[in-house]
Structure 1
Amino acid sequence: MSAKPFAWHVVGVTEAALRKFHELNYRYEARQGLTRAHLRPRIETVRELLGRSEPRPQNEFIEYWFAHDRTVLCARGENKAIIPKYIEIENHDGSLFSSTRIAWRHGKKEREVLEALYNRLSELLAPPHG
């Protein structure tokens, strides 16, 4: 399921991750401390799907997976049992940041969404003056 484009459905980004994307000109670079975190432990979703006495029809299985396999883009150290507050991203169909097994597609559309979000929230996201 992880290899399907709809897996790891991104629905938000943490403030720390959005700041990091801003530093990287909204591009994704491997080993820069950016990842996805599940809002609900994946094991719970799998248990519910596979623990049934009768399997769900394929379309119901996929709908359930899509609804419960939601993630947020986060920075290093934020992928924990309790995910920090995050900013929602409008991505109802899962076409943004679609899964490519381990990573995600990160092209022009994704960069534009992140930049617009950062610009809209820039006052809140500005680093503290010290």
Structure 2
Amino acid sequence: MSAKPFAWHVVGVTEAALRKFHELKYRYQAGQGLTRAHLRPRIETVRELLDRGEPMSQDEFIEYWFAHDRTVLCARGENKATVPNFIDIENHDGSLFPSTRIAWRHGKKERELLESLYKQLNGLSPQPVRDA
């Protein structure tokens, strides 16, 4: 499932990660301490899928996985059992930050989004921060 573009569905970014992206001109660079943290441990999702009496259809499985495999972009040290507060990202279809197994694709639309969120965070138009 990790190889599917919708896996590791990104739904937010922490302030620390946003500041790091700003330093990197909103580009993703491996080894710079940016990662994705699951909002729900993946093992819980897998256990629920395997503990079922009957297997799900492929469509049901993908829908379930998409709903329960949500992640937040975070900075080094933030990927813990409890994810810090984060800024929501509208990414209902999973098209932003699509998964490439361990990393993600990060193009122009992702850079523009991160820059906009950074500007909002720094006083232009506050973005609501939500609890994990």
TM-score, with normalisation over the residues of structure 2? Answer: 0.92
Corresponding residue for residue 12 of structure 2: 12
Question: SS at 2:122's partner residue?
Answer: helix
CA distance in 2 between partners of 1:98 and 1:13 (Å): 14
Structure 2 residues without counterparts, runs of 5 or longer:
127-132
| Structure 1 match to 2:53 | 53
Q: Give CA deviations for 1:16-65 in whole Å, capped at 9, x if unaligned.
A: 00000000000000000000000000000000011112101110000000
> Distance between the aligned counterparts of 1:33 and 1:53, measured in 2?
41
Counterpart of 1:39, as a letter, is L
**Paired residue for 1:116?**
116
Residue of structure 1 equivalent to 2:98 = 98
Partner of 2:129: none
CA deviations on 1:73-98 (whole Å, 9 max, x unpaired) are 00000000000000000100000000
Give me the whole-angstrom Cα distance separating, in 2, the residues matched to 1:53 and 1:121.
46
2:107 is equivalent to residue 107 of structure 1: yes
* Cα drift, residue 15 of structure 1: 0.3
Question: Normalization by structure 1: what TM-score?
Answer: 0.94
Alignment of 1:32 with 2:32, yes or no, is yes
Counterpart Cα distance in 2 of 1:53 and 1:112? 45
Pairwise CA distance, 1:5: 0.3
Equivalent residue pairs, number: 124
Percent identity, please. Answer: 83
Instruction: Report the AA paired with residue 85 of structure 2.
Output: K
Question: Which residue of the partner structure matches residue 127 of structure 1?
Answer: none
SS of the residue 2:49 aligns to: helix
Unaligned runs of 5+ in 1: 125-130
Distance 2:13 2:73 in 1: 4
Tell me, in whole angstroms, the C-alpha distance in 1 between the residues paired with 2:65 and 2:110. 23
